[in-house]
């Protein structure tokens, strides 16, 4: 649970969410998280806890953009638990 809270706090205001003028986009509608959003977090947590070296390969297979940087961010978040 702590990992999920920390990850949500870290990624809540991501710099990629801004346009070229650094203005926040207009929010049209706020929707709740889908019921399955925790599954990805649980899988990432599993890799961080049991096999951190395989996390980058897992993210690459999912074709996550910037998977190496994202894996480092996740490891940083996990190290603070």
pLDDT tens across 21-70, in order?
A: 556 667 778 888 788 888 988 999 999 999 999 999 999 999 999 999 99
User: How crowded is residue 3: how many other Cβ atoms within 10 Å of its Cβ?
Assistant: 18
pLDDT at 18: 53
CA 37 – CA 26 distance, rounded (Å): 24
Cα-Cα-Cα-Cα torsion 42, 48, 50, 53, nearest 10 degrees, comes to: 130
CA 53 – CA 58 distance, rounded (Å): 10
Query: Within a domain: residue 12?
Result: no
Domains contained in the chain, number = 1
Query: Within a domain: residue 61?
Result: yes
Query: Within a domain: residue 39?
Result: yes
Query: Within a domain: residue 4?
Result: no
Comparing 19 with 9, which gets the higher pLDDT? 9
pLDDT at 23: 60
pLDDT at 7: 79
Comparing 49 with 7, which gets the higher pLDDT? 49
The residues, ordered by sequence, that sit 6+ positions from 64 with a Cβ below 8 Å of its Cβ are: 70
């Amino acid at each position: 649970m702590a990992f999920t809270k920390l990850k949500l706090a870290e990624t809540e205001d991501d710099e990629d969410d801004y346009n070229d003028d650094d203005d926040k986009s207009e929010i049209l509608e706020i929707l709740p998280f889908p019921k399955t959003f925790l599954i990805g977090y649980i899988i990432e947590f599993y890799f961080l806890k049991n096999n951190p070296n395989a996390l980058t390969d897992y993210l690459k297979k999912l074709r996550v953009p910037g998977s190496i940087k994202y894996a480092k961010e996740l490891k940083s978040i996990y190290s603070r638990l």
